[in-house]
């Protein structure tokens, strides 16, 4: 005969403790759990009291694990995650993919490449609510509570998996009017005599360099001119107005090139394509909503390969 409904050796507050570690602080964990920060703080304090261990070093501006906290997380974190995964797996067998899915993606790339793929996805999965964050700034996928990220930054976070998604072919373009007035550079060095429209990173505040292949060797050029922007659309508009030369993706400028209003510049020196990645949690089991979203993008993005875009934006 079973006399206990639960194992009293497993504290109820353990999951809250792990959520604080996963999200970095009490307030972020509280938002994820749908409770108040005070409730999270109280639960952690109760866990520390029941274990007779101090789990966090707390200051006004920081929260770090103690040695005992690290040990508890190391021993219990993977076990709890496996249990949560198994519960989700059981639920997913009975339900259609559903729930809110937060996706971080670069602004122009997201609008031109990813967004056109989504109406079919939403029609197929009406119970999934997409929350799209269009931002060229590099964000922390885990801390911001995003399920999926798209961009070209290197995967330096062991909690994330990076999967090849799309290739961008960078090109330089200028308007026909600009070239008629100022001539066309024949080598990358001749760009020093032209007005180059620079792109400034919203994350680092630095200008993006332009890459070229010269006799097989990759060289970088810092664009110099009297206009710097943090928007690909603004750079394209400036090219249209004859302000100067800009670096874009070939797909973004293709229509203007075909119409003769844009000219490709330094075509013989173009750099290699840039790989765009999909980033997501490295947990063994993905929620169904995340899995079907990634599968949909991977399946349908091939129809958009000719819409190469935005070599300026190198970040999430």
Per-residue pLDDT tens digits for 160-187: 888 899 888 889 999 999 999 999 999 9
Question: Among the listed ranges 119-123, 203-207, 217-221, 238-242, which one has the minimum average pLDDT value?
Answer: 203-207
Q: What is the pLDDT of residue 284?
A: 63
Residue 309 scores a pLDDT above 90: no
The whole-number average pLDDT for the span 3-12 is 54
Distance CA 239, CA 131 (A): 33
Q: What is the pLDDT of residue 215?
A: 85
| Residue 290 CA, distance from chain mean position | 14
Task: Find out whether 15 and 80 touch, Cβ atoms under 8 Å.
Answer: yes
- Bridge partners, residue 53, by sequence: none
Residue 133 scores a pLDDT above 60: yes
Higher pLDDT, 82 or 227: 227
Confidence of residue 311 (pLDDT cuts 50, 70, 90): very low
Confidence of residue 91 (pLDDT cuts 50, 70, 90): low
């Amino acid at each position: 005969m079973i006399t206990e409904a639960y194992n009293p050796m497993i504290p109820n507050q353990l999951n809250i403790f792990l959520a604080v570690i996963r999200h970095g602080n009490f307030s972020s964990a509280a938002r994820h759990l749908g409770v108040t920060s005070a409730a999270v703080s109280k639960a952690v304090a109760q866990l520390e009291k029941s274990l007779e261990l101090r789990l966090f070093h707390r200051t006004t501006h920081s929260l770090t694990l103690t040695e005992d906290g690290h040990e508890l997380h190391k021993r219990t974190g993977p076990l709890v995650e496996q249990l949560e995964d198994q519960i989700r797996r059981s639920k997913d067998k009975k339900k259609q993919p559903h729930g809110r899915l937060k996706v971080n993606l670069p602004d122009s790339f997201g609008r031109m490449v990813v967004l056109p793929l989504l109406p079919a996805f939403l029609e197929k999965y009406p119970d999934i609510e997409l929350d799209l964050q269009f931002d060229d700034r590099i964000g922390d996928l885990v801390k911001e509570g995003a399920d999926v990220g798209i961009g070209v930054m290197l995967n330096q976070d062991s909690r994330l998996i990076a999967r090849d998604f799309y290739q961008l072919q960078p090109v330089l373009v200028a308007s026909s009017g600009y070239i008629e007035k100022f001539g066309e550079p024949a080598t990358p060095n001749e760009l020093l005599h032209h007005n180059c429209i620079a792109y400034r990173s919203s994350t680092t505040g630095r200008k993006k360099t332009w890459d070229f292949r010269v006799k097989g060797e990759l060289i970088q050029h810092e664009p110099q001119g009297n206009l710097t922007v943090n928007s690909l659309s603004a750079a394209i508009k400036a090219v249209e107005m004859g302000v100067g030369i800009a670096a874009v993706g070939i797909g973004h400028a293709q229509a203007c090139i075909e119409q003769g209003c844009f000219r490709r510049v330094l075509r013989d020196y173009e750099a290699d394509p840039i790989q765009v990645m999909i980033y997501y949690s490295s947990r063994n089991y993905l929620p169904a909503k995340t899995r079907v979203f990634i599968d949909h993008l991977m399946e349908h993005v091939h129809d958009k390969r000719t819409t190469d875009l935005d070599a300026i934006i190198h970040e999430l």
